Amino acid sequence: MSAPYNRVALIGLGLIAGSMALAIRRAGLAGEVTGFARSAETRDVAREIGLCDRICDSLAEVVEGADLVVLCVPVGAMEGVAREIGPHLKPGATVSDVGSVKRAVIEAVGPHLPDAVHFVPAHPLAGTEHSGPRSGFAELFEGRWTLIVPPEGADEDAVQRLETLWQGIGAHTDRMEADHHDLVLAVTSHAPHLIAYTMVGVADDLRRVTDSEVIKYSAAGFRDFTRIAASDPTMWRDVFLNNRDATLEILGRFTEELFALQRAIRTGDGDHLHAYFTRTRAIRRGIIEAGQDTDAPDFGRGKKT
Amino acid sequence: MSAPYNRVALIGLGLIAGSMALAIRRAGLAGEVTGFARSAETRDVAREIGLCDRICDSLAEVVEGADLVVLCVPVGAMEGVAREIGPHLKPGATVSDVGSVKRAVIEAVGPHLPDAVHFVPAHPLAGTEHSGPRSGFAELFEGRWTLIVPPEGADEDAVQRLETLWQGIGAHTDRMEADHHDLVLAVTSHAPHLIAYTMVGVADDLRRVTDSEVIKYSAAGFRDFTRIAASDPTMWRDVFLNNRDATLEILGRFTEELFALQRAIRTGDGDHLHAYFTRTRAIRRGIIEAGQDTDAPDFGRGKKT
């Protein structure tokens, strides 16, 4: 496969940009990968570990001559970045992003881009609970989905080039409409994260159980929640503020269901509970069959590599 | 270490009993391990894979001459088993269990045991989402906690022998009072499980997002929930019915907190969200430092062995 871009610029050097930089360079998918982060400390670390071919000290410099510019900053920071880079973008360049929310990003970023630039938003469904320039690794996207969310009338060649890049670093790609993307992610990611954050907070608040007990005896269940709840606070704040309606809709349904299960516990309705738990088991089987996870009995064991 | 028991009888040959059988025999901690399960099919599988030294076809037979009898059946089935084995227990024997709830087990089992038998309830904080006689493995308890919950006035020698057994198969042990145990577990395990079950059910109900989309794009967050929600339905039904008050208390607090976070999303209160998410991150760090999990960046990657 020939390199789809001569120069790729990554803005925001956290887990996603760092992993993209390492993966793109390893696969030889760009002539040069430039990088910029707002924080001088992050830029220093990125230089020290050789994350990109070149780390730049300004937004104007990092996008200069770039064929692809990828915004890898929290969703709430994208509008400011778009406004600043707009005048410096090369005509014919593609601007993309990796935000977990798509409608809000399209509305925030789109208006600041010149007509001669293609805007193709995207969202890689991959991550860890770690963040920062040292957290990236080239294999992050392997076997994972990246959703491409082209606005109406997007240039087909620009969309395909972006798909080629993501596939080149190991991802599967699918196209999805922005509002539907935001609903799907509210179900599969945003609501679960908020729920995990909440449960971890409750555990911490409960005075009759000490923190050390919670930590020491955090058996199956709670440990997975804490892993989720350790994710980057700024990123997640912006996700919830920018996917408000879909998240609140899902949480509303969640609360309804939870109340029904609580009622079953209170009234001793074991049949209701058993039927519910049997149904959820089948969904897990579907996920394993779809190849999104393994069947290895690691849960509750911490046998993670 | 000399074997703490001559004969150990395991009742209910699922994940926990199977793992205990394999671990006890590997470590040479008993002269003989006998096993019984109510289902003839389970007994056949246990015989086929050589899970115990001897598989028995009745409760009377499996406990005959046993120095330790461990009830490894769902919490709701323990009273019936206790009633049936009571008359067949050897004087001086110890009866224990592995139930996730302790107060209800003590009340259900205790009255059926003869005075000449020691009753030392226990709860190994280990498991996977798999169940049945083929799911056991000898390493399940290594590095995990087993909580020993001796009733008031329990025989100290009997308690220590049970601790020796658990430590011999790799577990750390701690002693805890029954009601406190049930509260700690409601926080760290029971409420998180119910929440995960609920979220997985909501995802399945939502008609505008297809099951295949949920499954295909189940990124970080939802996958961990499905793993939790795949656990044994009968076991979990019994846990909730038998730890009702503590579970409902925690769920009540959870709902309060969730409503506060929902309100912050609705009103756009980013500071509240950011502060909450920052606090939960610290709890995760505590868990890693306590050695209950690893810091490897596997979350969202499915790089599980």
B177-224 pLDDT, tens digit each: 999 999 999 998 899 999 988 988 888 777 677 767 877 787 656 777
Give strand pairing partners of A32.
A7
Confidence band, pLDDT 50/70/90 cuts, at residue A3: confident
Q: Which of A261, A47, A53 is nearest to A133 (CA)?
A: A47
Q: Hey, are the CB atoms on A191 and B214 less than 8 Å from each other? A: no
Tally C-beta pairs within 8 A across A and B: 381
Nearest CB to A227 within list B224, B230, B244: B224
Confidence band, pLDDT 50/70/90 cuts, at residue A208: confident
Give strand pairing partners of B35.
B10, B55
Which residue in A has a C-alpha nearest to residue B125's C-alpha? A219
Distance of residue B26 Cα from the nearest chain A Cα, in angstroms: 19
What is the C-alpha separation between A185 and A178, in angstroms, rounded? 11
pLDDT(A70) > 90: yes
Q: Hey, are the CB atoms on B195 and A197 less than 8 Å from each other? A: no
Confidence band, pLDDT 50/70/90 cuts, at residue B282: confident
pLDDT of residue B209: 74
Q: What is the pLDDT of residues B19-78, one digit of tens each?
A: 999 999 999 999 999 999 999 999 999 999 999 999 999 999 999 999 999 999 999 999
User: Which is higher by pLDDT, A173 or A214?
Assistant: A173
DSSP B99: -
Confidence band, pLDDT 50/70/90 cuts, at residue B117: very high
- Which residues of chain A lie closer than 8 angstroms to B141, CB-CB? none
Q: What is the pLDDT of residues A211-221, one digit of tens each?
A: 678 777 876 56
Report the percentage of chain B scoring pLDDT > 70: 92
- Which residues of chain B lie closer than 8 angstroms to A214, CB-CB? 184, 187-188, 283
User: Which is higher by pLDDT, A15 or A215?
Assistant: A15
Confidence band, pLDDT 50/70/90 cuts, at residue B287: low
Q: Would the ipTM clear 0.90, i.e. be above it?
A: no
Q: How far from each other are the two terminal CA atoms of chain A, in whole angstroms?
A: 32
Distance of residue A100 Cα from the nearest chain B Cα, in angstroms: 11
Q: What is the pLDDT of residues B64-107, one digit of tens each?
A: 999 999 999 999 999 999 999 999 999 999 999 999 999 999 99
B:227-246 residues touching chain A, CB 8 A cutoff: 227-231, 233-234, 236-238, 240-241, 244
Q: Give the residue-averaged pLDDT of A12-25.
A: 97
pLDDT(A161) > 60: yes
Quote the crossing angle between the two packed helices B191-205 and A244-267, to the nearest 10°: 120
The answer to whether residue B177 neighbours chain A at the CB level (below 8 Å) is: no
Chain B interface, mutation test: which of A195, A212, A242, A259, most B Cβ atoms within 10 Å? A195
User: Which residues neighbour A123 within 8 Å (Cβ) at sequence distance 6 or greater?
Assistant: A98, A99, A100, A102, A146, A147, A149, A181, A185
Nearest CB to A251 within list B218, B262, B268: B262
User: Which is higher by pLDDT, A23 or A295?
Assistant: A23
Q: Which fold has domain A5-176?
A: Rossmann fold (3.40.50)
Confidence band, pLDDT 50/70/90 cuts, at residue B254: very high
Q: Give the residue-averaged pLDDT of A181-206.
A: 89
The answer to whether residue A77 neighbours chain B at the CB level (below 8 Å) is: no
pLDDT of residue A207: 67
Q: Tell me which of A113-117, A222-226, B12-16, B122-126 is least confident.
A: A222-226
The conformational region for residue A153 under phi > 0 = left, psi -120 to 50 = alpha, else beta, is left
Q: Which fold has domain B180-289?
A: 6-phosphogluconate dehydrogenase C-terminal fold (1.10.3660)
Q: Give the residue-averaged pLDDT of A82-102.
A: 97
The answer to whether residue B48 neighbours chain A at the CB level (below 8 Å) is: no
A:260-299 residues touching chain B, CB 8 A cutoff: 261-262, 265-266, 268, 270, 273-274, 276-281, 283-287, 290, 292-294, 296-299
Q: Are B68 and B85 in contact (CB under 8 A)?
A: no
What is the C-alpha separation between A219 and B192, in angstroms, rounded? 10
User: Which is higher by pLDDT, A300 or B164?
Assistant: B164
Which residue in B has a C-alpha nearest to residue A271's C-alpha? B237
Distance of residue A269 Cα from the nearest chain B Cα, in angstroms: 8
Q: Give the residue-averaged pLDDT of A15-22.
A: 97
- Which residues of chain B lie closer than 8 angstroms to A301, CB-CB? 126, 128, 139-140, 144
All CATH 3.40.50.720 domain ranges of chain B, comma separated, are 5-176
pLDDT(A205) > 90: no
Distance of residue A80 Cα from the nearest chain B Cα, in angstroms: 17
pLDDT of residue A219: 62
Q: Are A123 and A102 in contact (CB under 8 A)?
A: yes
Confidence band, pLDDT 50/70/90 cuts, at residue A200: confident
Which residue in A has a C-alpha nearest to residue B183's C-alpha? A209
Q: Are B139 and B99 in contact (CB under 8 A)?
A: no
Q: Which helix (H) or strand (E) holds B239?
A: helix B233-242
pLDDT of residue A47: 98
Distance of residue B173 Cα from the nearest chain A Cα, in angstroms: 11
pLDDT(B263) > 80: yes
What is the C-alpha separation between B270 and B280, in angstroms, rounded? 16
Which residue in B has a C-alpha nearest to residue A255's C-alpha? B255
Report the percentage of chain A scoring pLDDT > 70: 92
Q: Tell me which of A134-143, A167-176, B207-216 is least confident.
A: B207-216
Q: Give the residue-averaged pLDDT of B138-153.
A: 95
Q: Hey, are the CB atoms on B280 and A229 less than 8 Å from each other? A: yes
Which residue in A has a C-alpha nearest to residue B203's C-alpha? A187
All CATH 1.10.3660.10 domain ranges of chain A, comma separated, are 180-289
Q: Give the residue-averaged pLDDT of B139-166.
A: 96
pLDDT of residue A220: 58
Q: Which two tokens stand for residue B113?
A: 């045991």
